[in-house]
Amino acid sequence: METSRARREGNSIIITIPASLGVADGEEFYIHRSDNGTILLVPKIHDYFAGAKNGEYRQLLEWGDIYAPQGREEVE
Tell me the per-residue pLDDT of 15-63, one tens digit each, with 9 for 90 and over: 999 999 999 999 999 999 999 999 999 999 888 788 888 877 777 666 6
In whole angstroms, what separates CA 73 from the centre of its chain? 41
Spatial CA neighbour of 28 closest among 42, 48, 13, 7: 42
| DSSP label of 64 | H
Domain boundaries, the chain: 6-66
pTM attached to this predicted model: 0.54
Q: Give the C-alpha separation, 13 to 26, whole Å.
A: 17
Q: What is the pLDDT of residue 34?
A: 95
Within 13 Å of residue 49, how many CA atoms lie on the same side as its CB? 6
